[in-house]
Amino acid sequence: MRRICLSLLFACTLPVSVYAQNDWYLKGPEKDEVYGIDLQGALDKLKGRQATPIVVAVLDIGTDINHQELKDIAWTNPKEIAGNGKDDDGNGYVDDIHGWNFLGGPTADIMYEST
C-alpha cells in the first residue's frame, strides 16, 4: 500500500512528458505489467470530460490554512459564520469555518504539559 501511495504522490507532482514514458510508477499493471498508476490510461478516460471541483480532507496536525499555497483554496463552510461563537450549521461544532481540529478546536489551541 505504501508503494502505491508513493507512486501516486510522485505521479501527481511530475508533468506528463516524453521522459515520463520510462518511469515505472506511471505505467499500469494491465498494459505494462508494472504496478504503477497507469497515468496514460487515466488520461485517456478523462478525455472529453468536464472537470468538477472536489473537496479533499487533510488528516494531519499542524496544517497552516493561512499558508500562501492554501489560503485561497482552503474549503470554507458556507453555513458557518466566523467568530460569532455559535454553531450556525447545527453540526455540533462552533465556528468550524475550515473544518475542525479535534485536538484543539477550531483555532487549534493545543496546550502541552511537560512531564
Single out the residue of 6, 102, 7 nearest to residue 58, CA to CA.
102
Among 2-6, 14-18, 28-32, 47-51, the range of highest mean pLDDT: 47-51
pTM above 0.75, yes or no: no
Helix (H) or strand (E) holding 52: none
Residue type, 59: L
- Per-residue pLDDT, 4: 53
Cα gap 95→22, rounded to integer Å: 49
Instruction: Provide the pLDDT confidence category of residue 64 given band limits of 50, 70 and 90.
Output: confident
- Encode 53-71: b = buried (16+ Cβ within 10 Å), e = exposed: eeeeeeeeeeeeeeeeeee
